[in-house]
Amino acid sequence: MKSGKALLWKEWREIRWFLVAGAAIFIGWPLLEAVGNYRLGRGFYSTDMPEAIALLLGGPFAILVAVGVTCRDLKGKIACFWQSRPVSIRRWAVTKYLVGLAVVLIVLCVPLVMKIFVMRAEHELGQLSGILTCHTFTVILIYSISFLAGCLIRMPVYAVIFSGALALLVYFLPILAPPLESFSVFNIMIQSPVVVVQLSESVQGEPWIAEKMRVVKIPWADDLVLRYNIDLLRYIAFALAGSFAAVVLSAVAVKRNWRLKVGQKLMFWLLGGVAMFLLLTVVFQLRSNLTCIRQIPIKTASEKGFDVAAIASDGDKGVLLLHCRKTAYAEGKAMYYSLMTFDLSLKEPFGEEFVIPEDLEKAVWQNVGRSKLVWSAKHPQLLYMVRELHSQDKTDDKSKLNCAEILTISLSDSEAVVTDKIDLLPHIENRKGYCNGMCIYKDRVFVNLSGQVFIFDLGADGKLTFKSVTKRQVGVYDKVTRRDASRHTFATMLVGLIPAEGLTTEEQLKVAVELTDYPEIASEGDIIIGMDYDSPLTVYRLKEVRDDVATLEMAGYHRPTPLERFTGMFPTPVFVRDGLAYTLGGFGGGLTVYDVRQPQYIKRIGHYVAPDEMFLAIAPLPDGNILVGGSKLHIVRPPKVKR
């Protein structure tokens, strides 16, 4: 038998138990789940088990195999025995490396390939191809590093621990350190690294992903292309180069008898140190760093526990719209609301609670979104809102407006009572639309309803007087995004302004933004902060105004860090003050603050989250602090920035 064949045979005899154990775990578990499902009458299928096992256990399995194949033959007298054999070190090392790698790849890839053939579901294929094309190379890299560690350390436990620490860095450091994001396996996998798509869909998605996508035409299908991420090629090149270097170093280490003298303590502290370093990196990026000056529990007449759904404020006074989810679930109702006044200058900030009668609840529910409840400190006992009722039109099966009126609600008794209403229906030509927004500015109330803008004067007694109605498109109504040959993104936003007297262009822009349907938009001066599909936070700057239409151009966007993308919750802008954009719905449902003074370099500078709290409402306070509403009112100090 030639030495090569003999080496192969020996390696196979020694490693086959790893193959059996690996097959039992990586193939056996999904099969077990499938059989269980079959026995319970749910069909013979496995859910995400093969992917989950490949992602969770692929790295550890590679480490065990690599350390197993190296340490067995390199400890004590066995190493001397091998040095006495007429076998070149290079051949010995390469045979060991390749046989071990083959076992790892068989165990890792076979269940995934099997699932691809069994499932054939399109949405599953993207995920599986991501794991196969990207994670497989991570496992190869980890296997190679562990192989080198085994050759250098030659003690299985320490080699496993050392390799485990390095594997943690390979997996998680690139997702935690933004400059390394191109080398993050998770980052590349969630961007669908390789997928066959229609030609028209070849360039889509967020700008920072779109600029990395490349397409290759498929010769036998005219309308299909293979879209791949350029980062995937870089990552594969990096993993293969790293693996090659590790193998060469391993051969040199064995030939020259290099050894790392390590102790148990050093190894465990290394592993613990790496784990703590990664934890601290996560915490540094996601921690809550804004100070809560005051938390005020909301005391209502009922003991059911209310959350703040909306805040209509003017200075440090205002009205809270409260809702009780528990009651809603228990009684099968959609929601359950009440109103409560507050004055934060007082020691006991909460005023009276006003129960909303059932006939008003639906109208209130429609006005939960921002800018649809209006309140003024000049008339603290009055609240204004739109009531609109729709029905299905039998002719075209579309929603038809049956009722549209401005309600003035008195908050003087214990129940919210409608004291005045103005019917808007006679003024509405197209009854297919909805109310997009309502706001108060300089003693005028503006309502954007069904493609028309209504303007009311607010009298000294708080009574609304109809002033004018204009049929025009107000607010953000168009966004054009294009990419040039180098895949840079350019975007333009068109905003319809209100030709109201006494308002400057910037004030008109502010009112127009308030009347825009999306809650994900805010403005200050000549800039608008928007949230759209392409970017969670985009800054547009006013370019020109022509025929009461403002044209704004994209000045920059926030490129979320890999960790922000991975945690998945994109914040929505609520308001901008002094160049700081305040957003809700970031990580943990919290308040996140971005510095947008330099739109090209938007920075995340503050975050506030209170556990068990999902903030739904936010308002600026005159002293510079921020009022945030959850199950309590939180007064949060804004971050300090250099002016």
Phi, psi of 66 (to 5 degrees): -60, -45
Residue 523, SS3?
strand
CA of 347: how far to CAs of 296, 319, 375, 621, in Å?
A: 11, 17, 22, 16
Interface pick for other proteins out of 39, 77, 261, 394 (rule CB under 8 A): 39
**CB nearer to other proteins: pick between 33 and 548:** 33
Per the CB < 8 A criterion, the answer to whether 51 and 112 are in contact is yes
By CB under 8 A, name the one of 264, 391, 430, 598 that touches other proteins.
Answer: 264
Q: How far is the CB of 482 from other proteins (least distance, A)?
A: 38
Which parts of 274-293 interact with other proteins (CB under 8 A)?
A: 275-276, 279-280, 282-283, 286-288
Tokens standing for 618?
Answer: 């936010």
Closest CA to 595 of 533, 641, 530: 641
- Contact status: 611 vs other proteins (CB under 8 A): yes
CB of 184 to other proteins, least distance (A): 20
Using the minimum distance from each CB to other proteins, give the nearer residue, 38 or 244.
38
Nearest to 198 by CA among 223, 228, 227, 218: 223
Nearer to other proteins (CB atom), residue 532 or residue 613 = 613
Shortest Å distance, C-beta 188 to other proteins: 25
Give the separation between CA 271 and CA 161, rounded to whole angstroms: 7
Shortest Cβ distance from residue 159 to other proteins (Å)?
Answer: 9
User: Stretches 25-33, 384-392, 468-476, 593-601: which one binds other proteins (CB under 8 A)?
Assistant: 25-33
Q: Judged by CB, which is closer to other proteins: 118, or 275?
A: 275
Element (H, E) at 527: strand 527-530
Q: Say whether residue 603 binds other proteins (CB under 8 A).
A: no
Q: For other proteins, how many residues bind (rule: CB under 8 A)?
A: 32
Residues 6+ apart with CB under 8 A from 453: 446, 447, 469, 470, 472, 474, 498, 515
CB of 312: closest distance to other proteins in angstroms?
A: 30
484: left (phi over 0), alpha (psi -120 to 50) or beta: beta
In the complex, minimum distance from the CB of residue 2 to other proteins, in angstroms, rounded to a whole number? 31
Cα angle: 541, vertex 547, 553; to 5 degrees: 20
Edge-to-edge strands, sheet with 527-530: 475-483, 489-496, 549-557, 538-546, 527-530, 521-524
Interface positions, 358-377, toward other proteins (CB under 8 A): none
**Residue 77, interface with other proteins (CB under 8 A)?**
no
Taking the complex as a whole, the smallest distance from the CB of residue 344 to other proteins amounts, in Å, to 24
Least Å distance, CB 617 to other proteins, is: 21
CA 130/CA 188 separation, integer angstroms: 8
For 413, list phi and psi in degrees, rounded to 5: -95, 180
Tell me which of 268, 434, 441, 477 binds other proteins, using CB under 8 A.
268
Helix (H) or strand (E) holding 511: helix 505-514
Q: Please identify which residue in 32, 230, 233, 245 interacts with other proteins, judged by CB under 8 A.
A: 32
Q: How far is the CB of 296 from other proteins (least distance, A)?
A: 17
Contacts with other proteins in 563-602 (CB under 8 A)?
587-588
Amino acid present at 177: A
| Rounded-to-integer distance, Cα 496 and Cα 546, Å | 10
Q: Which is nearer to other proteins, 237 or 276 (CB)?
A: 276
* DSSP per-residue string spanning 300-351: -SSSS--EEEEEEEETTEEEEEEE-HHHHHHHT-S--EEEEEEETTSSS-EE
Q: Work out how close the CB of 13 gets to other proteins at its nearest, in angstroms, rounded to a whole number.
A: 18
Q: How far is the CB of 44 from other proteins (least distance, A)?
A: 13
Q: Residues 3, 14, 33, 194: which binds other proteins (CB under 8 A)?
A: 33
- From 358, 612, 640, 642, residue interacting with other proteins (rule: CB under 8 A): 612
Distance CA 504, CA 508 (A): 6
Residues of this chain, 128-167, that bind other proteins according to CB under 8 A: 155-157, 160
User: Closer to other proteins at the Cβ: 75 or 467?
Assistant: 75
What does the alpha-carbon distance between residue 521 and residue 537 come to, in Å, rounded to a whole number?
9
What separation in angstroms does the CA of 317 have from each of 32, 377, 418, 622, 627?
62, 7, 21, 10, 11
46 near other proteins, judged by CB under 8 A: no
Six token digits for residue 242: 């790293």
Q: Candidates 3, 14, 23, 29: give the one binding other proteins (CB under 8 A).
A: 29
> What is the closest distance, in whole angstroms, from the C-beta atom of residue 276 to other proteins in the complex?
6
Where on the chain is the footprint of other proteins (CB under 8 A)? 25, 29, 32-33, 35-36, 39-40, 155-157, 160, 264-265, 268-269, 272, 275-276, 279-280, 282-283, 286-288, 587-588, 609-612
